[in-house]
Structure 1
Amino acid sequence: MTRQVDVAILGAGSAGLYALGQVRKATDSWVLIDGGELGTTCARVGCMPSKVAIQVGEDMHRRNIFDREGIEGGEQLILNQEDAMEHVQDLRDVFVDKVLSTSTDEMSEEEFIEGNARFVEPGVLEVNGERIEAKKVVIATGSTPLVPSAWESFRDRILTTDEFFEQEALPESVAVIGLGVIGLELGQALHRFGVDVTGIDMAGTIGGLEDPVARDVAIEIIGREFPLWLGEKAEVSEAGEGKLKVTAGDNEVEVDRLLVSMGRVPNVRELGLDALGVELNDNGVPVFDPHTMQVGDLPVFIAGDVTGDRPILHEAGDEGRIAGFNAVQETPVAFARKTPLSITFCDPNIVTVGQGWSELDEAAIAVGEVKMGLLGRAIIMGRNRGVLRVYADKRDGRILGATFVAALAEHLGHLLSWAIAQELTVFDLLKLPFYHPTMEEGLQAALYDLKGRFDVEFDHPVELRPLK
């Protein structure tokens, strides 16, 4: 059997669904193909259920300051892990059902095929014994958590995000291997659930932090909650009685489970991408233009986590839109990408925005900094730990990027990303209102510190805009 369509989309995750939204505006001749778990990575095992777990952990952790607020009995509060995980799963199911009810559940068998497609040639696919000829193809097959092959014999005691949110009961002890976004968020949540957590990463940092000041502050704060072993590779072996021994350098611990968060692998192995006849990178992903999402000069586009480039939901959404739009154009259109913004929802938040520390020329930038210890709103909340660092071009004061380690820094990150997108300077930002008392005043203080790094004379207060 052979079927012809204008566009075939491989993958019904966030990127694939956003691509379909664009394709549907131009043609009714399309097919969506997915043979995996439906409901998107974000809703099933990513952004959303992890935030539920984080919220439960934060609510429980809050009891530590009840005494000084005059709230009695905080030490008697008990977190029932099974009930907490049931709550996480209940809300996870709500998020997944919301996705399914507005996407694949509404599609006919002609529109949505449950199966795994494979390229026969650039515009020809095979799925479930059917041959599909598509004028354009969008690859949005997502990614899978990486588990080292050397640890396969321990697989029944290894958790990744694919298994974590299915747990009814939690282990007494866990080694979290990999302290990027996922490892930090879930590791801290587990600690606050009452699990004995050890965090391990062969890098000398956490949360992907490059800024040396922010890195040291984050390690010091989070290291107060549970031990962080950094800069050494983790080795795993049997310890007897069902436990695993984990070593990293001179450190050693026995645990019930591993939470492995060492990155994700693009889902490309079964796609037959060799049939495209284009260059593949080390992960087997075809080389593509990040502004058009086109693979070489083929009628093939790629989007979302499968690229391994920007594994963040809003980026997957943008890539899906670009790929879907270009899949129904005669000539692909190049789109500017949005200001980079990354948020780790640990406590305190870790936020990077704009150009990262490694991308900057230290001789060409000015850095404004403020520590959160004396910020009024942070003191009131009992969360006055952390640092804000803002980078600007020495020549004109234009904001280039920032790194924040602070409570509620997710909001400050958005403000800075918008400012960078508008090419605003530190002087422009100081003309804007900052309400008292808010966490945004911390950003204002960092901007004042940054302003002081410039040798500029003003004939009026820089924070006020004279009438013309």
Structure 2
Amino acid sequence: MTEITVNGMTCTSCATHVKDALEKIPGVNAAVVSYPESRAQVMADTAVSHNQLLAAIAALGYQGSIRVGDFKDEPKIRDALEGAGLHIAIIGSGGAAMAAALKAVEQGATVTLIERGTIGGTCVNIGCVPSKIMIRAAHIAHLRRESPFDGGIAATVPAIDRSKLLAQQQARVDELRHAKYEGILGGNPAITVVHGEARFKDDQSLTVRLNEGGERVVMFDRCLVATGASPAVPPIPGLKESPYWTSTEALASDTIPERLAVIGSSVVALELAQAFARLGSKVTVLARNTLFFREDPAIGEAVTAAFRAEGIEVLEHTQASQVAHIDGEFVLTTTHGELRADKLLVATGRTPNTRSLALDAAGVTVNAQGAIVIDQGMRTSNPNIYAAGDC
């Protein structure tokens, strides 16, 4: 390994440019460049001369000099450089999967990324991005209806066209998915995207049931499971037989229901409850305990007071014991009487997407909730398999 002092770098982008220039030299296998430490470590064939390395650095306008001596961190750097050439399989395409894929490629690995659904995972498609757009629209509607400046700015009742709001919301989702996920994956030759559902065949291979039909076996040196989570459904009699909403259906709805019942008392339930109320729904929240009962009690008390001030009904210590859907109407039997609504949103937590992975075939341990058990380095019980994110 050759270590070079590089003077003149002013940011991490400079380090990236130096790394790219060094790795373009025939015979250079991999390079690690640090801007804060002003140095580069290069693993190259013996035919590569020091002058070639220094010339590549000088061509970028930086000054390089070969360092000599015993480098204490050489084993660690050598291990990182020898990561070049590894094949890494990644199951999922959300934030954790993308971060890992790009870093792996940066270190010289090749990646096969497997996605059974829409590229981008929860956040950009059905989570953070669409929900925050809807919440922002609802906030604007709220400010038009009432604000601290109503004494000098006449309030007005907004006309809500949910179908147009949804079209705007989805257009932004599509734009960001392409810019942050699809476009990046499609433009990186070291990443192969396979559309299908993966399960472990053994501890070194996956079987992928392809969306277009057939199967494919993907071998790997390392694997990352980043399959996210899905809405949990409580075992309320009659619920599964009804057309209830999870957050996914709520965010995709092109109408605002006249009456909305919400089962749940944490972030997803409450942010959507307030958004629908501000867009015109009469909302009732059923909380098994109190709002945000796992947090500081003052938080739940403040949110409850704010909700009630906005006309949102909060039923604390209330559970549904039965759900029926009759003639287009939800009928909930609760500990405090009967509740009727046009739509029912269930947001009571999320469950790791691990059941279909055949993790036992690879010796990967999960906990009682189905979440993959990892150590501080995100390794599973199989040292060649890692997991990250909601799974």
Q: TM-score, normalised by structure 2?
A: 0.71
Contact 2:129 2:173 in 1 (8 A): yes
Q: Are positions 1:102 and 2:183 aligned together?
A: yes
Quote how far apart the aligned CAs of 1:294 are. Answer: 0.3
Partner deviation per Cα, 1:23-52 (whole Å, 9 max, x = no partner): 112224221111112223111111111111
Choose the corresponding residue for 2:380, options 295, 298, 307: 295
Mapped pair 1:264 → 2:350 = yes
Q: Across the two proteins, how many residue pairs are aligned to each other?
A: 298
Does structure 1 retain, via aligned residues, the 8 Å contact 2:262–2:285? yes
Alignment partner, residue 225 of structure 2: 139
**Aligned residue among 260, 263, 267 for 1:174:** 260
Q: Which moved more, 1:25-34 or 1:43-52?
A: 25-34
Is 2:329–2:343's contact at 8 Å kept on the other side of the alignment? Answer: yes
Q: Deviations over 1:53-93 (max 9, x none)?
A: 11111111113137733112x23432223322333223222
Task: Give the match for residue 164 of structure 2.
Answer: 83
The correspondence of residues 309-458 of structure 1 with structure 2, limited to 5 A, is none
Alpha-carbon distance in structure 2 between the residues aligned to 1:217 and 1:300: 44
Instruction: Give 1:154-303 correspondences, 5 Å limit.
Output: 154=242, 156=243, 158-206=244-292, 209-225=294-310, 226-238=312-324, 240-289=326-375, 291-303=376-388
Structure 2 residue ranges without an equivalent (≥5): 1-84, 210-214
Once residues 132 and 247 of structure 2 are traced to their aligned partners in structure 1, the CA distance between those partners, rounded to angstroms, is: 13
Residue identity in the other structure for 1:103: I
* Equivalent residues of 1:137, 1:299 under 8 A apart: yes
In structure 2, the partner of 1:69 is 151
Counterparts of 1:97 and 1:265, CA distance in 2: 27
| 2-structure distance, mates of 1:64, 1:83 | 23
Q: What's the secondary structure of 2:277's corresponding residue?
A: helix
Q: Deviations over 1:398-423 (max 9, x none)?
A: xxxxxxxxxxxxxxxxxxxxxxxxxx
Deviates more, 1:127-136 or 1:105-114: 105-114
Answer yes or no: is the 8 Å Cα contact 2:322–2:334 preserved in 1.
no
- Alpha-carbon distance, 1:239 to partner: 5.7
Name whichever of 223-232 and 14-23 sits farther off.
223-232
Q: 2:193 corresponds to which residue?
A: 112
Higher Rg of the two aligned structures: 2
Moved more, 158-167 or 115-124: 158-167
Counterpart AA for 2:114: I
| Aligned-pair CA distance for 1:8 | 0.7
AA partner of residue 196 (structure 2): G
SS at match of 1:65: coil
CA distance 1:280–1:77, change in 2 (3 Å)? closer
Shift of 1:275: 1.1
Shifted more, 278-287 versus 174-183: the winner is 278-287
Gap change, CA 1:297 and 1:40, over 3 Å in 2: closer
Match of 2:31 in 1: none
Report the Cα offset of residue 148 of structure 1. Answer: 3.5
- Please point out which of 107, 110, 117 is paired with 1:29: 110
CA contact (8 A) 1:40 1:96 kept: no
The residue number in structure 1 matching 2:119 is 38
Q: Give the CA deviation at 1:103.
A: 3.0
The code of the aligned residue for 1:6 comes to H
TM-score (norm 1): 0.60
Q: 1:212 to 1:167 in 2, by over 3 A?
A: closer
CA distance in 1, matches of 2:367, 2:180: 32
**What is the identity, as a one-letter code, of the residue corresponding to 1:217?**
A
Residues 195/105 of structure 1: CA separation in 2 closer, same or farther (3 Å cut): farther
Q: Report the CA distance between 1:107 and its aligned residue.
A: 5.2
Contact 1:229 1:251 in 2 (8 A): no
Unaligned runs of 5+ in 1: 307-468
Change (3 A) 1:32 1:101: closer
Taking structure 1 as reference, are residues 26 and 169 closer, same or farther at Cα in structure 2, changes over 3 Å only? Answer: same
Q: Does the 8 Å contact 1:88/1:165 carry over to 2?
A: no
Name the CA distance, whole Å, in 2 between partners of 1:262 and 1:274: 28
Asked if 2 retains the 8 angstrom alpha-carbon contact of 1:17 and 1:103, the reply is no
Moved more, 104-113 or 138-147: 104-113
Query: In the TM superposition, what whole-angstrom CA distance separates every residue of 1:321-356 from its partner, at most 9, and x where no partner exists?
Result: xxxxxxxxxxxxxxxxxxxxxxxxxxxxxxxxxxxx
Residues 1:96 and 1:235: Cα distance change in structure 2 (over 3 Å): farther
* SS at 1:223 equivalent: helix
Deviation >4 Å, runs of 4+: 107-110
**Equivalent in the alignment of 1:314:** none
RMSD: 2.3
Deviates further, 27-36 or 185-194: 27-36
Query: Which string of whole-angstrom CA distances, capped at 9 and with x for unpartnered residues, describes residues 170-189 of structure 1?
Result: 22111111121111111100
